[in-house]
Amino acid sequence: MKNFKVAVLGGGSWATAIVKMLSNNSSKIYWWMRDEEQVKYINKYHHNPKYLQSVAFEPEILHVTTDLNKVLDVADIIIVVIPSAFIHGVLGEVKINNVHKKVFVSAVKGIVPEFHSIPARYIHKQFDLPYEQIAVISGPCHAEEVALERLSYLTISSHSEKVATDVAELLSCRYIKTSISDDIFGTEFSAVLKNVYAIASGICHGLGYGDNFQAVLISNAIQEIERFVDGIKEMHRDVKSSAYLGDLLVTAYSQFSRNRTFGNMIGKGYSVKSAQMEMNMIAEGYYAAKSIYEINKKFNIDMPIATAVYHILYEKISPVIEMRILSDILK
């Protein structure tokens, strides 16, 4: 394996989990985050005080800093793990000549709201990078289980087989299995959509719907994902594989899913603002619901579940009424 210098941008739970994975195969990791106190703490005590506190890091291979330009200058591969709502605020000021030879990897699972764009496409446009220098990390993998070293699976997608393989090798270890794909658009849009459907699942749980209805909801959700990604970029893909269906299932059902938790609170009567304040974490599906709705105006794909979530979150239609309407549509 080549001795790549890898940068990780973001200080949350998924970024922490990715740094842990990389620690098995990388000789030098540059970890950027905005919070100066968090940086000082990690450099002193070698674990993240805010997320996955049980994960300990080796100080010899980890350099944590708030200096974004320094990180971008030295890294060969840059893994973006910033919440989608803040990506443009961080990367929007970066100069193109600083990064034009770098490989960018999106591990965001969200949409850049200012542009209604998946991160891979945003990076492509923002830095004029070919898709051969861009990869996407997807799959059913919660940060909390990575911290516990429970066996998990990731799919690395890129238009360059070499880039996908290099990134996959960096992340692979005893408890992380990887596969590669060339479906950047399908895997990243699927990773975005599953958050919207996890919110729908949470809303239904909060309203008191049972497992029988949840099964129907999720089987319809994977059909919506297939229709949408085929409409965006038609190609041969198997939506029953782990990068699509697997990611949807774990996000819709897991106790660790913040999107399901957010939806559950909405179903129980919380306002969007009060749910966000109580969670103190980003539910990517909230932003994705609006962006997917806006993107779909162009394609007019039949997406009743995603539309119902948009109506509840942004048009303030009662979850009780919206889910009653939806229940008459699902099959």
Confidence of residue 281 (pLDDT cuts 50, 70, 90): confident
Give the SS3 label for residue 265.
Answer: helix
Match 């957010």 to its residue by tokens.
Answer: 262
**Catalytic positions, written as ranges:** 194
The yes-or-no verdict on residue 260 having pLDDT over 80 is: yes
Q: What is the pLDDT of residue 2?
A: 65
Q: What pLDDT is stored for residue 220 in this prediction? A: 98
Q: What is the mean pLDDT of residues 40-55?
A: 95
User: pLDDT tens digits, residue range 200-245?
Assistant: 999 999 999 999 999 999 999 999 999 999 999 888 899 999 999 9
Same domain, yes or no, for 14 and 132? yes
Calculate mean pLDDT across residues 59-84. 95
pLDDT of residue 133: 98
Last residue of a domain, one of 182, 205, 228: 182
User: In terms of DSSP H, where are the helices of 27-160?
Assistant: 36-45, 68-74, 87-91, 96-99, 119-127, 143-147
289 domain residue, yes or no: yes
- Looking up residue 246, the CATH number of its domain turns out to be 1.10.1040.10
Give the mean model confidence (pLDDT) for residues 84-102.
Answer: 90
pLDDT confidence of 6, banded at 50, 70, 90? very high
221 shares its domain with 295: yes
Q: What is the pLDDT of residues 51-62, one digit of tens each?
A: 999 999 999 999
Strand order in the sheet with 134-138: 62-65, 29-32, 6-9, 77-80, 103-106, 134-138, 152-158, 176-181
Which of 182, 197, 213 is the endpoint of a domain? 182
Q: What is the CATH number of the domain that holds 109?
A: 3.40.50.720
Can you read off the two tokens belonging to residue 21?
């994975």
| Per-residue confidence (pLDDT) for residue 256, from 0 to 100 | 85
Domain identity same for 191 and 286: yes
In a domain, 205, yes or no: yes
The whole domain housing 315 covers 186-329
Is residue 1 a part of any domain in this protein? no
Determine, yes or no, domain membership for 277: yes
Helix (H) or strand (E) holding 8: strand 6-9
Label residue 93 by pLDDT band (50, 70, 90). confident
Are residues 72 and 211 both part of a single domain? no
Last residue of a domain, one of 162, 182, 202: 182
Contacts of 233 (CB under 8 A, 6+ apart): 183, 185, 186
% the chain with pLDDT above 70? 99
Q: What is the C-alpha R_g of the chain? A: 19
Give yes or no for residue 1 having a pLDDT over 60. Answer: no
- Please say whether the beta carbons of 119 and 188 come within 8 A: yes
